[in-house]
Structure 1
Amino acid sequence: MPNYSAKRQEYDDALPGWQLVKRCVAGPREVRKYDEYLPMPDPLNQSPENIARYQQLKKRAMFLNVTGRTRTGLLGAVFRKTAEIKLPSAVEYLLENVSGDGSSLEQLCKEATGECLDTGRGGLLTDFPKVELPEGQTSLTVSQAAKARAYVHFYPAESIVNWREDVIDGVRRLTLVVLHEKINETTDDGFEFTAKDQYRALMLINGKYVQRVYSEDTPDGVKTNPTDKMGKAFDHIPFHFFGSQNNDASIDKAPLEDLAEVNILHYGNSATVEEAGFISSQPTLFLTSDLDPDTFKIHNPNGVQIGSRKGHLLGKQGSAVMLQAKETQLARELMKDKEDQMLMIGARIVQQGGGAETAEAVRIRYSSDNSVLGTIAGNVSEAVRLSLFDAQRFMMEAVDEAGTVFWLNQEFFDEAMDAQAILAQMQLWQQGIIAKKDLRTNLRQAGVLESDRADEDIDADREEEAPVVGSEPDSPPANQPPGVNDE
């Protein structure tokens, strides 16, 4: 029987780091489920009292979810502007239903970008669902063919358990990918379900793409041979990796892992501070007296009560002192150090502004983060674009590369353009140095024009408007040299 559930060693080595980041992103409730992130102070003492004290320690510890907030901010920077998208009509349905479950293409890209921030890795599989024909029917009807569509499915890093690359004709090519899936089977009453493991093996055998699905019920696998629109076998596996550094099959560094490590250490320091405060923050009364116990009870029949409404007789040499532990600085300073380290790593979303700061200074501070984020946005864009090509192979006779455009936003800052800058752009156009299309592109990037307004939309709106008084609508600008084409 094939060992279809085998995992690569690199996968096992990277899995704890991926889990750490995702648990931090999920927040305090998820982190507190795992004792490994806040070890028990006395692990050898397994008495009920010590275990109960440890549970109280975990409840008092504060987990400041810097990792999750940073992830949200970075995602917001990428998707602050809509992606540049252009698709052939045959696959335009992917814009609103890219995975067959109603998820939009933008939502798939958000999942992919978030996964790349968490783990530095992920993948997209383009697949065509197998259509079961009724008995006696040999080909699809028009109605059946209209519903049969190719879809793009997102797989997180934890689901990609095995892979292999081989050199074929001097080119390194992907020849094996094994994907771990969870299949929910409902019970007879329909109210409950059980999750079962399933492994989807994508293989390149003799230069042809083959897919096999393994499970406990089908240990030998169910084989399918996907073909394109023309009935020809694929000469590559329609699965595309994306990573934080590049899009090959190797595992890249998880961008948020360093931040999550410090976040967990900050969580441990917080537990120490809260525990010390809980134990020693309340004042304690200490009494000294030369009275014997019986005499003390006679003069203080109700014991010693703290407050100004009742006096106490302590004898000639008696005294009372109220003691309270002073604030310990070590653990608090360790917490502050961790907060500074998280800011240095990239969690500036929690940093308090200390005054006015120029836009250029902000760009300098964020330059390293933008470099990583820009690489991720570019890598995810490339993987999505290649997946769209594979979808076209299923749905069209030929891939329309020229008619397919997909690119996520990589401008993470507002490029403010004042009136003087706009006038300078106008002069460049009037002098024939740039075209009108370039001018409008610059205005879109600066936010002067809406990013989704195409030149055709602007021209159509202008035709409906009345001519500007004092100028001819079709005449060239006054400062434009003769013979210069404004397009």
Structure 2
Amino acid sequence: MTDVTFTRDDYKAAQYRWKLVRDVCKGSETIKAAGDKYLPRPNASDTSQDNKDRYDAYKKRAVFYNATGRTKHSLVGAVFRTWPTLTVPGALDYVSKDIDGQGVSVYQQSQSVIGHLLEVGRHGLLVDYAAVVAGSVSKADEQAGRARANVASYPAEAIINWKTRQVGGQHLLSLVVLRETVDVDTDDGFGSEQVVQYRVLRLDDAGVYTQEVWEEGSNKTAMTVPPFTPLNGLGQPWRVIPFQFLGSENNDTSIDDSPLYDMAEVNIGHYRNSADYEEAAYLVGQPQPWMAGLDEQWRDHMEKNGIFLGSRAPWLLPVSGTCGVWQAQPNTVAKEAMDSKKEDMVSLGARLIERGSAVKTATQADNDSAAEHSVLSLVVSNVSEAYSQCLVWMAAFVNASGETLYKLNQDFSQITLDATILTALFNAVQGGKLPAGDFWQYLRDRGVIDPEKTNDQIRDELETENPGPNLDDTEVIPNGGKPSNP
């Protein structure tokens, strides 16, 4: 029996971790909407409405401080502090503005991919192609967008099944099943409904890459698009599945660990401590007045007329009567637990929560930065390699030759310009001691010059904007060039 919805055991085992980190990064609204999944009920056996209302108030008072989500955005921002390097043939220039066919640039898509890898440690990229009948792709097809290759991005949850097999001396993907959700318009043309479909990528026994699509129905899942063979720019079938796995450790098919999972677990614990702390502050945080030594007459009088607090409402007590205000002693257990978890999150990489206050030497700062960003450096390296491979496949589709490269920044320290060094380098260029190209590369690395500009482009722009003095000027200066009398 064919079951295209089959999921692997290691995929199922990773679901809890993925869901936890995803929810934490989405923030307070998602965490609180999950109810007792992340915040247990104080009295779970009591199913009364009063206990449900009390739990709702308990949950509302809790504060979720999204250290994990803030850390993720901070790390992605550190990568793109310096613009990536993109080198492609002219036929693929469009990827800088639209790599997926939906107006998302390679820069924007790679930002999203890094975020996914930090959250769950796994992602996928599919290079898709238009069908080519025979021969090379015409320029008309390219310009009309009919023959454009694109890269579709798939989160870890969408990659439900995969297999490899050994071909010669290497392991090649032989099966990938992708779960997709597609919006379909309703009959009235205004609404839409979501349909689940499964895209199956195969490498058949003959070593030819094919695709097929199955759609999930109310009764059964049936094939809606029979197997077809995508062709490259020369009209030939593909001998590999152009699907690229990405991971937090490497880009093989295995499921890597989530870099932010440990922080997310601590973040949930911090949220639970916050709920207890806020509950205690609500219950005993207000001062409680008390009286002693009252007889029945005074008691009945005060019950009838009420009690008012303030300097203009004195309490007239009988002889030997006493009063006071009771204030609960601070309960520091929950607060100390919150502070402890905050320190744990800092040690796990939450740079936005707290910065170290100790004065460090430049060497110490560089070492700390290298240690802190070691996981991020590996993620960035994997993303650069994956996109470089995808660009090679895209170039093969449009039958384009030339270098293809996508390289992300791996220097995450704050880049600054030193005026003294800048002046010295400029003087060295002017004195013929340093090539202008090396000086321009220094400015590229610090974001002053667009990294994609070549030396020839920079030179042309400088010559155009600063043509210099016109040596052919034949204008005659009156009075022989002598100054006129005032």
Q: Verify: 1:344 aligned to 2:343, yes or no.
A: no
Match of 1:124 in 2: 125
Greater Cα shift, 112-121 or 453-462: 453-462
* 3-state SS of paired residue (1:351): coil
Match of 1:477 in 2: none
Match of 1:303 in 2: 306
Match of 1:371 in 2: 374
Match of 1:475 in 2: none
Query: Aligned in 2, Cα 1:349/1:360: closer, same or farther, shift over 3 Å?
Result: farther
Cα distance in structure 2, aligned partners of 1:120 and 1:126: 20
Q: CA offsets, 1:252-279, max 9 Å, x none?
A: 1111111111111100110011000000
Cα distance in structure 2, aligned partners of 1:426 and 1:413: 24
Query: Aligned in 2, Cα 1:443/1:209: closer, same or farther, shift over 3 Å?
Result: same
Q: How far apart are 1:341 and its partner, in Å? A: 0.6
How do 1:293-332 residues align onto structure 2 when only pairs under 5 Å count?
294=297, 296-298=299-301, 301-332=304-335
Cα distance in structure 2, aligned partners of 1:233 and 1:160: 24
Match of 2:40 in 1: 39
**Structure 1 segments unaligned to the other structure (5+ residues):** 134-138, 469-487
Which residue type is aligned with residue 346 of structure 1? G
Q: How far apart are 1:452 and its partner, in Å? A: 4.2
Match of 1:482 in 2: none
TM-score by length of structure 1 reads 0.86
Which residue type is aligned with residue 178 of structure 2? L
Cα distance in structure 1, aligned partners of 2:230 and 2:24: 40
Q: Is the 8 A contact 1:296 1:314 kept in 2?
A: no
Q: How far apart are 1:323 and its partner, in Å? A: 0.7
Q: Is the 8 A contact 2:121 2:259 kept in 1?
A: yes
Cα distance in structure 1, aligned partners of 2:341 and 2:363: 27
* 3-state SS of paired residue (1:118): helix
Q: How far apart are 1:435 and its partner, in Å? A: 5.4
Q: Is the 8 A contact 1:414 1:447 kept in 2?
A: no
Equivalent of residue 283 in structure 1, options 275, 287, 295:
287
Q: Verify: 1:238 aligned to 2:242, yes or no.
A: yes
Which residue type is aligned with residue 264 of structure 1? I
Q: Is the 8 A contact 1:24 1:68 kept in 2?
A: yes
Query: Aligned in 2, Cα 1:443/1:150: closer, same or farther, shift over 3 Å?
Result: closer
How do 1:379-394 residues align onto structure 2 when only pairs under 5 Å count?
379-394=382-397
Q: How far apart are 1:197 and its partner, in Å? A: 1.1
Which residue type is aligned with residue 58 of structure 2? L
How do 1:57-72 residues align onto structure 2 when only pairs under 5 Å count?
57-72=58-73
Count of residue pairs the alignment pairs up: 458
Match of 2:472 in 1: none
Which residue type is aligned with residue 145 of structure 2? K
Which residue type is aligned with residue 203 of structure 2? L
Which residue type is aligned with residue 238 of structure 2? F
Query: Aligned in 2, Cα 1:375/1:427: closer, same or farther, shift over 3 Å?
Result: farther
Q: How far apart are 1:192 and its partner, in Å? A: 1.8
Match of 2:16 in 1: 16
Query: Aligned in 2, Cα 1:461/1:196: closer, same or farther, shift over 3 Å?
Result: closer
Match of 1:204 in 2: 203
Cα distance in structure 1, aligned partners of 2:239 and 2:112: 28
Query: Aligned in 2, Cα 1:338/1:291: closer, same or farther, shift over 3 Å?
Result: same
Query: Aligned in 2, Cα 1:174/1:433: closer, same or farther, shift over 3 Å?
Result: farther
Q: CA offsets, 1:151-174, max 9 Å, x none?
A: 110001111111112222131111
Q: How far apart are 1:204 and its partner, in Å? A: 0.8
Query: Aligned in 2, Cα 1:130/1:459: closer, same or farther, shift over 3 Å?
Result: closer
Match of 2:165 in 1: 166
How do 1:62-461 residues align onto structure 2 when only pairs under 5 Å count?
62-129=63-130, 146-148=144-146, 149-206=148-205, 207-216=207-216, 219-220=222-223, 222-292=226-296, 294=297, 296-298=299-301, 301-352=304-355, 354=357, 359-396=362-399, 400=401, 402-416=402-416, 418=418, 421-422=421-422, 436-447=436-447, 449-461=449-461
Cα distance in structure 1, aligned partners of 2:404 and 2:278: 56
* 3-state SS of paired residue (1:349): coil
Cα distance in structure 2, aligned partners of 1:420 and 1:263: 44
Greater Cα shift, 21-30 or 303-312: 303-312
Which residue type is aligned with residue 184 of structure 2? E
Q: Is the 8 A contact 1:241 1:247 kept in 2?
A: yes
Q: How far apart are 1:430 and its partner, in Å? A: 9.9
Cα distance in structure 1, aligned partners of 2:110 and 2:301: 80
Query: Aligned in 2, Cα 1:298/1:105: closer, same or farther, shift over 3 Å?
Result: closer
Cα distance in structure 2, aligned partners of 1:365 and 1:100: 41
Match of 2:478 in 1: none
Cα distance in structure 2, aligned partners of 1:272 and 1:87: 56
Which residue type is aligned with residue 330 of structure 1? V
Cα distance in structure 2, aligned partners of 1:153 and 1:300: 73
* 3-state SS of paired residue (1:106): helix
Q: Is the 8 A contact 1:300 1:313 kept in 2?
A: no
Q: How far apart are 1:229 and its partner, in Å? A: 1.4
Q: Is the 8 A contact 1:97 1:103 kept in 2?
A: yes
Q: How far apart are 1:375 and its partner, in Å? A: 1.3
Cα distance in structure 1, aligned partners of 2:430 and 2:166: 54
* 3-state SS of paired residue (1:212): strand
TM-score by length of structure 2 reads 0.87
Q: CA offsets, 1:58-91, max 9 Å, x none?
A: 1110000111111111111111122111211222
Report the identity percentage. 36
Which residue type is aligned with residue 109 of structure 2? L
Cα distance in structure 1, aligned partners of 2:450 and 2:204: 49
* 3-state SS of paired residue (2:352): helix
**Structure 2 segments unaligned to the other structure (5+ residues):** 470-486
Cα distance in structure 2, aligned partners of 1:336 and 1:300: 44
Q: How far apart are 1:9 and its partner, in Å? A: 1.0
Q: How far apart are 1:105 and its partner, in Å? A: 1.4
Q: How far apart are 1:331 and its partner, in Å? A: 0.6
Query: Aligned in 2, Cα 1:389/1:37: closer, same or farther, shift over 3 Å?
Result: same
* 3-state SS of paired residue (1:215): strand
Query: Aligned in 2, Cα 1:466/1:170: closer, same or farther, shift over 3 Å?
Result: closer
Which residue type is aligned with residue 254 of structure 2? S
Which residue type is aligned with residue 91 of structure 1? L
Q: Is the 8 A contact 2:298 2:318 kept in 1?
A: no
Which residue type is aligned with residue 199 of structure 2? R
Query: Aligned in 2, Cα 1:395/1:106: closer, same or farther, shift over 3 Å?
Result: same
Q: How far apart are 1:420 and its partner, in Å? A: 5.1
Query: Aligned in 2, Cα 1:300/1:421: closer, same or farther, shift over 3 Å?
Result: closer
